[in-house]
Structure 1
Amino acid sequence: MILYDHSAQVLSDVSTSAEALFGYMDDPARIGSHMRESSMMMLGARMIYELDGRGGQAIGSVIKMHGSLLGLPLAVEEVIVDRHPPHRKTWRTFGRTRLFVIGAHQVGFEITPAKGFCRLRIFINYNYPSTIFGKFIGMMFGRAYARWCLRQMSEDAAAKFQSSVVAP
């Protein structure tokens, strides 16, 4: 079992069925769109996604991402470790992680149906990068970056179904 030193989560109420919400959240490239576009939080970098034949939608499926920041390579590989439609999905890094703000991590979401909407909880458990420089950058920006990523995923889902983000 992997232990993580840090965590964050975002909750939102989404006005749709659990099946529709899971279908939307089950696409790694869709919920990771905030990392595929250049932005201030990404310091102008953007990641390119490579999905295996199962599209990141089965236990054991692999998601690869790579890019560069100021000419320095970024790369991470993740594997789906838990997937129970339409209620939850979790994936985590494996192998060497080349990221600057967060290192090894586990990300997932849980969907809880309610009357007329679903409660979406998106979470991340993470460690800082293993290098001295990475630990320094992680301590300074890791929490803000992790929360930004979760918020982007939550806001994208809320916009898709015209709902609202509830709370961090």
Structure 2
Amino acid sequence: MEKPSMMMMGGRMTYEFDAAKGQAVGSVIKMGGGFLGVKLSVEEVITVHDPPRRKVWETCGQTQILIIGAYRMGFEIRPAKGGSHLRVFIDYNHLTTFFRGILSLCFASIYARWCVSQMASDARRAFLPRLKPVAD
């Protein structure tokens, strides 16, 4: 989300990391940016960090998000025949104010799928170049 995208309508988010850089339980990541002139901000805390198998984070404090409310997101990697199986997930609440609530009901599932898809694509790009073809 650091790069402008269609899902963000050309907007982008900036990231601010604490000393642990999101790599330890309790570490905090702050994000800020904008979407169609609306200021966005969210703070996340790492709740599970078991490298390289599992990482989970969730929102904390007051969030200024347009489409989804508080969320919990993460990934799990487990061995599978011929490689690994990656599971990316997001659990979220819908927003409750009138205007944002309508947006949330209409677009939250689309946005959540996009977030999960982005994470899976990033993992694929990060790991596929390192994979070597398996000889038959």
**TM beyond 0.5:** yes
> Could you tell me how far 1:84 is from its partner in structure 2?
1.3
Identity %: 52
Alignment of 1:54 with 2:23, yes or no, is: no
- Correspondence for 2:29: 63
Gaps of at least 5 residues in structure 1 are 1-34, 164-168
State the shift of 1:70 in Å: 2.5
Name the counterpart of 2:57. Answer: 91
CA distance in 2, matches of 1:152, 1:85: 20
Q: TM-score normalized by structure 1?
A: 0.73
Per-residue CA distance 1:7-56 (angstroms, 9 max, x = gap): xxxxxxxxxxxxxxxxxxxxxxxxxxxx1111111111100000000000
Structure 1 residue 118 corresponds to structure 2 residue 109: no
Deviation at 1:158, TM superposition (A): 1.1
Look up the equivalent residue of 1:121 and give its one-letter code: R
Aligned to 1:160: 126
Quote the residue 1:39 is aligned against. 5
Residue 131 (structure 1) shift: 1.9
Following TM superposition, where does structure 1 have runs of at least 4 consecutive aligned residues deviating by more than 4 angstroms? none
Larger radius of gyration: 2
Deviations 1:67-110 (A, max 9, x none): 01222210000000111122111000011110111110000101
The structure whose RCO (Cα within 8 Å, separation 6+) is larger is 1
Please give the alpha-carbon distance, in whole angstroms, between the structure 1 residues aligned to 2:17 and 2:67. Answer: 23
In 2, Cα distance between the equivalents of 1:148 and 1:75? 18
CA RMSD of aligned residues (A): 1.3
Aligned equivalents of 1:64, 1:113: Cα separation in 2: 32
Of residues 96, 103, 113, the one that matches 1:147 is: 113
Shift of residue 135, structure 1, vs aligned partner: 1.1
What residue is the counterpart of 1:79 in the other structure?
45
Q: How far does residue 115 in structure 1 lie from its aligned partner after superposition?
A: 3.6
Give how far 1:116 is off: 3.1
Deviation larger for 110-119 or 46-55: 110-119
Cα displacement string for residues 130-153 of structure 1 (whole angstroms, at most 9, x for unaligned residues): 322111101111101100111111
- Give the paired residue count: 129
